[in-house]
Amino acid sequence: MQPKSRLNYIVLWDEYILPCLSGVLLFLSFPMGNHTYFAWFAMVPLLLRTVNGQKPFKKGFITGLVFFFGTQSWINNSISRYGHVPFFLGVLIVLALCAYEGLYAGLFGYLVNRVSAKTKIPIFLSVPSLWVGLEYLRGILLTGFPWSFLGYTQYRALPLIQVSNITGVYGVSFILVMSNAVIAALLLNNPFVKQPSYKPSATDTSGKITSGMLTSGTFECAIFGAAAFAVVLAASLIYGYAVIKAGTSDVGRTDAVTISVIQGNIAQGMKWDKKYEEEVIGTYENLSRRALEGKSTTLQAPLQTPPQAPLQAPQAPRQAPAQASPQPPQMPQIPQMIVWPETSLPFLFYYDMKNTKSFIEFDKTMHTYLLFGTVIVKGFVSNQYKISNSAVLLNPDGQIEYVYDKVHLVPFGEYVPFKNVLNFVGKLVNAVGDFDQGKEKRLAKTSIGSFAVHICYEIVFPGLVREFYENGGDFIVTITNDAWFGKSAGPYQHFIMSIFRAVENGKPLVRAANTGISGFVDATGAVLGQTGLFEKTVLTVKIYKNSRLTFYSAYGDLFAFGCNLFNLFMVIRLIAVKLMVVKLKSRQSNGDGTTYPPKTVGKIRKNKGGNRK
């Protein structure tokens, strides 16, 4: 019998330390941890203790709680600083969000354990499918929060992430989790290490409980899983290199367009303060004139310090490889369109007519397209103004050519979801405004090309963005105000998600952010130029439009759907096994409740008319 102190240490190690270790490794693989290679093995400690251990839900939940709080703790900056919520209450709110997300990780741990113990399905298939399926559900249920998807960690591994134009970011997550599952299987079934072997159980047709076979929990199966992973990884890389190489051809590509993004770096407290109105609009107008005069900055630098992913040369700069889309010219050029960030106008467009007329006159002097974010008054209902968070495009003659109203609003930031139930939290959003939801998803069709605008939070939704490009489009524009995030990991995480939207839809992307990060991304995910955080600047880059329709743009999340169909099959299989076991137990019991071994039960059943005593 082991001493109590040793048992306590084992419980601490098994149920807390290893799950926490996985959570820490997972969040360190994201910006600003920047150890992107951790994602290839971060889940191994958790898997070693959930595949055939006890309390798998608890262990998965702890991993998820640590992981999500590590990657999303910056949210408290928005809540406490701009929502006027006390700091510690803000921390509790973020913890509540992360606990909700942790439920998905807990369910993942539980299902991994049950599928491993009760079916013959190998973990190199079940584990990545379960993780991806739950990632997808987390991104759509209860309005969805698709932040911290594991695939985003590999934004620098351009050949690897090209598979996203078929599978979405979920395909990259699948490959990473498959790597973790294979490593765990090899460790659990290593014949050279003395330890309990991972041997799941299944029920055969005779009703006997049998141990795992080659298809479930043996070293041979682990080797087979490693080989399968090598094939999947190799196929993804070969495909990725082919896509990047095809970027040099003219297939699906049209002419180039030069665009400037304006980063005004306006403090959140100044945006709607009347005394700063002239200063704010003057900042954007002066920066726009700089862009027209060619006095802009063209950057081709990497994101602030993240190291290379394991699939790239360690010292390679963060830019498109030689075989990728042509690099923008080193000398700044005169823009054909200028893009301002989300809600960049410090007045209500077409409601404050004095400022609106002055602004349109300014636009006419530029003789170029101007896209800007603004709040628009849509009407007056029940003693309240109906307003929208919108993007407006003015043509060179100062006429409105395109208006887009944001269709996916930020819950508790731009509106209160389930307002009848959650009316008590209404005051949390008073400082921001309760916006009306847009209805239309359409492209702006102009003489310089067709594009859609995605405002702030919308760019993090893979399925939403791709709906705009089902029928074509030349490039993507996203405008945002990340001043809410402060100097945290938030702006970096937000930026790298936009990289995947470019790859998924096979189109270059233009990003204008009030305080940064603004930038340009080509259709393969290479960052062509970017700004730093909290600086006033102009960035001008020539992008090469691409009208090609990717598989993901056309058909959406078929890969994630497929994973969830497989997950459903596994759950049904678990239920069937459970029912079979219950039926076996009932058959093994005679009328007075005595239980016999299976062989004895078989003899009794043969002797239908005999004495059962």
What is the Cα–Cα distance from 29 to 535, expressed in whole angstroms? 27
**CA dihedral for 35, 39, 40, 42, sign (positive or negative):** positive
Query: Residue 489 in contact with residue 32, Cβ under 8 Å?
Result: yes
Q: Say what the pLDDT of residue 298 is.
A: 43
Q: Which helix (H) or strand (E) holds 509?
A: strand 509-513
Could you tell me the pLDDT band of residue 16, with boundaries at 50, 70 and 90? Answer: very high
Sign of the dihedral through C-alpha 405, 409, 414, 415: positive
Residue-wise pLDDT for 265-306, tens only, equals 999 888 888 999 999 999 999 999 999 988 766 433 333 333
Residue whose C-alpha is closest to residue 475's, from 505, 498, 441, 495: 505
Are 94 and 109 within 8 A, CB to CB?
no
Sequence-distant (≥ 6) Cβ neighbours of residue 187 within 8 angstroms: 44, 48, 193
Give, for 128, the enclosing helix (H) or strand (E).
helix 123-138
- For range 487-496, the mean pLDDT: 94
For the cut 90, the answer to whether the pLDDT of residue 192 exceeds it is no
Structure confidence at residue 593 as a pLDDT band (50, 70, 90)? low
Calculate mean pLDDT across residues 337-346: 96
Query: What is the structure's pLDDT at 253?
Result: 55
**Tokens matching residue 192:** 């050279």
- The highest-confidence range among 148-152, 383-387, 587-591, by mean pLDDT, is 148-152
Determine the pLDDT at residue 582.
84
215: tokens are 């298809």
Give the chain's radius of gyration (CA, Å).
28
Which residues does the annotation mark as catalytic? 342, 406, 456
Cis peptide before 62 (omega within 30 of 0): no
Output the average pLDDT for the chain: 84
State both tokens at 99. Answer: 């606990």
A 10 A CB-CB count for 270 gives 16
What integer is the mean pLDDT of 242-248? 85
Please check whether residue 485 is in contact with residue 147, taking contact to mean a CB–CB distance below 8 angstroms. Answer: no
pLDDT of residue 317: 36
pLDDT of residue 480: 96
Residue 252 has pLDDT above 70, yes or no: no
d(CA 129, CA 111): 11
pLDDT of residue 80: 84
Long-range Cβ pairs for the range 388-392 (8 Å, 24+): 388/435, 388/436, 388/438, 389/342, 389/343, 389/414, 389/435, 389/455, 389/456, 390/349, 390/438, 390/455, 391/342, 391/453, 391/455, 391/479, 392/349
3-state secondary structure of 589: strand
Cα separation of 531 and 341, whole Å?
A: 13
State the pLDDT confidence band at 590, using cuts at 50, 70 and 90.
Answer: low
Residue 209 has pLDDT above 50, yes or no: no
Helix (H, G, I), strand (E, B) or coil at 220: helix
Could you tell me if 175 and 129 are in contact, meaning their C-beta atoms sit under 8 angstroms apart?
no
Helix axes 169-188, 558-587, angle to 10 degrees: 40
With CA atoms as reference, report the closest residue to 342 among 410, 271, 391.
Answer: 391
What b/e string do you get for 422-455 counting C-beta neighbours within 10 Å, with b at 16 or more?
eeeeeebbeebebbbebeeeebbebebbbbbbbb
Greatest mean pLDDT range, 181-190, 337-346, 575-584: 337-346
Question: How many alpha carbons fall within 13 Å on the CB side of residue 317?
Answer: 10
Q: What are the tens digits of pLDDT across the range 526-558?
A: 999 999 999 999 999 999 999 999 999 999 999
Lowest mean pLDDT among 53-62, 162-171, 204-213: 204-213
- The pLDDT value given to residue 304: 36
The pLDDT tens digits of the residues spanning 102-137 come to 999 999 999 999 999 998 899 999 999 999 999 999
